[in-house]
Every structure is written in C-alpha cells, then in structure tokens.
Amino acid sequence: MSDRIILHVDCNCFYASVEMLYHPELAGKPLAVGGDPEERHGIVLTANYIAKRRGVKSGMALWQARQCCPGLVFVPPRMYLYLRFSRMARAIYQEYSGQVESFGLDECWIDLTDSCTLMGDHTQTIENGYRIAQEISARIRRELGITVSIGVSWNKIYAKLGSDYKKPDAITVFDRNNYKQLIYPLPVSDLLYVGRRTEKKLEKYGILTIGELAEADPHYLQSWFGKIGLMLLVFARGEDRTPVNDPGVEAPVKSVGNSTTTPRDLVNDEDVRLVLYLLAESVSERLRKNRFEGQVISIYVRDTDLLGYHQQKRMTAPTNISGEIEEAAFVIFQRLYRWEKPIRSIGISVGDLKPEGQPRQLSLFLNDAGGPDGDDDPQPVRIRCGAAWHYA
C-alpha cells in the first residue's frame, strides 16, 4: 500500500493576523487578542509575532502580558470575523481535496492522496504534495492577506508536527527518509495529545523525546497509561492511519457543537467564561447559517487527568442566540465542575434541533430555573478517556 499525502495547514497567529488587517495603524506594534482590558480580566487568546518575541504567550493573564510587553495593544475578540476567514480558508482547501478536516478555526488537515494526480506535476508523491502546499500557501497570502505554516507527511500526526516545526509562513516535509533525523530528537511534548501531565509522567520513566517514546516497550507503556500509551506509541512511530474526515459522509445533523483544547490549562471561572463565549459564538453562527434552533444545551469538560465531565440542560424555548447559549452553558458549568483539577479542554453543543422560527406551544408554567420545563438537574457523567470523548 502506498503512503498517503497529508497536509496540515495552520494559520499563523490567526486572530491577531486577522485583526492586523483591520488595524493597519498598528503595523509594527505588539498586538494581542483577548479578554477585556478595560475591566482588566481575561486571558490572551493569541498575539502577533512582535508581541510573542517579547514574551507574550497564549493563555497569559492580561496583566502578565502587560508586564512582559508594556506597549502591548489589546483588541477584543471578534468571533464573526475569525469565522468568516476560517470559512474562506477552508473553501480554498476544498478546491484541492474533498477530504478536509478542521482542527479548530485556524487549522485543517487535507488529504491529497487521490487529488494530487490531477494537480502539481500529477504524481502521487510527497514531493508533489510539497508543490501543492506551496500553491495553497501563496493563495492564502494573496487572497486572505494572512500567512500559514504547512506540514507535509504521510500521516496526520507528523503533518501536524510539520506545521508546528517552523513558523511563520513555512512549509516542512517529513518523509520516510528524514523523519527519524528530524522528529525523533524533538521533545515528547511536541506530539499531539501529550499534555503537561503526560509529559511529566513520561519524564518520570526516562522518556524525554519522541524517539525515546517510539522505541519504548509497548507492554510498559500499556501498563503505565493503558490504551492511551499504545496510541501515543503509534503516533510517535508515524504509524497512525486515522483518516482525514470527509464532510461528504457525515451523518445527518442531530446537534451542533464546538470544542477546544485551550492553549494553557484553565484555572478559574473567569478563564472558562471567555472560552465559552467564543465557543457559543461559533455554535450560534453555525445554527443560524443552517436555520436551526436547539433546546438542549450540553457542556463537556476534560481535566488535566483526562477525566471527562458531561451535563446538559433543557431550555424553556429553542434558541440560536449566542448570549443565551453562553449564559446557559456557564450555569451548567458552575453546577457541573468543582475545580478539583485545572481544565484541559471544554466544549458546547446544542441539541434537540428544530427549524428556525417554528411555531411552538407556550406554557403558563415555564420557568428559567428548571423544574416543570424538564430540567431535572442530571448528575455529571465522569469517564476517563483518551483522545476522544466517551459518555455513559
């Protein structure tokens, strides 16, 4: 079986890059997106490279960012803009392949295995994948005004490593000839799904690099981490065969959701509320685009021990309004989570979908606090999981 040709495209400093297009007066100045600088709370979602070179990092509190970079300019997030640019970038990717999988708003995998014989030099080779990556990079810069970093490899994990390997505006190829030389010396934390706690546990067992993980005994890894250990071994060795999801084979829509693994662990309600706001904006935009409203709001949280929590609430009436979704999600979150551990990822979904504007029977007994409207305050579901969510 011949190797696949997979790209991972990552928009550089995405939110900040988009904002710089709309703030030309800030050219050459450090800029960060996130939080509310007037009320002096929140976190940095992203910063431009000028700010990053002065020590500003995603996930920093605003006051910390100002200490690193006294001249830092803050702008509030505008999710509708980022969604628009995300859709435009994805439309470009879909001109090259029918298999495009989003990984957040600013990242996508593209499977060129079948389509590359029609493009570039018409060969099914990783070299042709590189040529197509050059074309995509040039089009994003020319048509959207931002830059991307692209990884090219035969599997999704190494392609993701490639897009992270060199930034900004770069293309990195990991092929069968160079991957051990270039990837194996990298710290194990560079591997997708290796968080800080997993990194510390691997370090405890003397595994510091991706190469050391790739050469580890699978029986030991399974005894230390369970099935997750075997999954990480497959990733480190470049043996992952996970397909790039084809949007053409998705199941009929039953719910609309969005989730994110945050740049740093979330440690308080303030951090969570900002992330929920961004997720609710994304979910709301997709609901309105498809003319849906939903009546069940769900929250799912994964802590730094990979323990998953899930809870939902039935609203008194269907909605696709971002403020209502965010408010309900935050109420559920406060009821669900007790801050025993920091949070690694969080998501919102809206279910029980109905056509937008559909007539509905109102009740004299509806209330916003639950009870007769069907909110029976279910207990959270707690399931230890790996890279994917599982609920009972």
269 Cβ contact list (under 8 Å, min separation 6): 330, 333, 334
- Sequence-distant (≥ 6) Cβ neighbours of residue 215 within 8 angstroms: none
Using the 8-state DSSP alphabet, how is residue 3 labeled? Answer: P
In whole angstroms, how far apart are CA 7 and each of 124, 267, 287? Answer: 14, 34, 29
Chain Cα centroid distance, residue 31: 22
User: What Å distances lie between residue 93 and 90, 98, 106, 177, 326, CA to CA?
Assistant: 5, 9, 12, 27, 31
Q: What's the half-sphere exposure (Cβ side, CA atoms, 13 Å) at 363?
A: 11
19 is annotated as an active-site residue: no
Owner of token pair 């593209």: 110
Give yes or no for a contact between 50 and 57, defined as CB atoms under 8 angstroms apart. no
Would you put residue 55 in left (φ > 0), alpha (ψ -120 to 50) or beta?
left
Three-class SS state of 30: coil
DSSP-derived secondary structure letter, 348 = E
Query: Among residues 19, 107, 293, 326, which one is catalytic?
Result: 107
Which residues are designated catalytic?
A: 107
